[in-house]
Structure 1
């Protein structure tokens, strides 16, 4: 059974659900699947990189997850209105030398009437961490429901 689409106008409940679905999708690390949540002509700013369209999104995510290994992400709703959602997030990953990082960021999302994201702006900072400082230890994939969120972790 396919999950119901979450479409504007968003309530707090549907915005929280939209954020969790996005987190789950990104934790799959499947660029093709993730790109389907965006309009075919979606516009992105990710750090200092500007992208447009699903093809560029797939290429970006493929490169990202080839370099950001053991990627695990937690997102949290910050605010919403009818067709926009603001999110804060943190993810942990390591590079090919085994150095660990926690990346903190904020995203601003805008959706079309079908619930596809047409605009995404992301600002992100990477912080080197030692492996014992990691907080995300679940098996790769979806964050377990009982795992603490950003607020509970003090992020």
Structure 2
């Protein structure tokens, strides 16, 4: 199995890889998202450190069970060789109806086959009012004409 685009990344291929990752996460399909990672991929996400696709899929199932109406935007920050750095923000509500916005940075390392071998995430979040939401597209892929993080001032 492989996932284009492949390293080493140029700006266009790095941007494309970031959009593919955003689209995958916005699908909220843990089994499909886990396939973008190497079988032995290593993560750091808050205080969890999943290793391998099975743990990644289980992590995503738990995460998305509690993050309702979640919408995410990722933006390329930097790239070199087989590594990409992104910044991102996502909005979600919990089962009580409280909305949150989370901001973060991720450092990604890819294997030659284009699968992600390592993901190091740094994330913080805070409650927001529903009226302060900025991500309003229907659940699923962000429309191409929806503003990105920079255009939204995030």
> TM-score with structure 2 length normalisation?
0.98
> Deviation digits for residues 71-108 of structure 1, max 9, x if unmatched?
00000000000100000000000000000000000000
Aligned-partner Cα distance in 1 for 2:19–2:126:
24
Gaps of 5+ in 1: none
Match of 1:97 in 2: 96
Report the Cα offset of residue 29 of structure 1: 0.1
Match of 2:79 in 1: 80
Instruction: Indicate yes or no: 2:111 matched with 1:126.
Output: no
Detail structure 1 runs of 4+ shifted over 6 Å in the superposition: none
> Deviation digits for residues 32-81 of structure 1, max 9, x if unmatched?
00000000000000012111000000000000000000000000000000
Instruction: Indicate yes or no: 2:66 matched with 1:67.
Output: yes
> TM-score with structure 1 length normalisation?
0.97
Aligned residues: 152
Aligned-partner Cα distance in 2 for 1:67–1:81:
35
Match of 2:109 in 1: 110
Match of 1:44 in 2: 43
Match of 2:152 in 1: 153
Gaps of 5+ in 2: none
Instruction: Indicate yes or no: 2:142 matched with 1:140.
Output: no
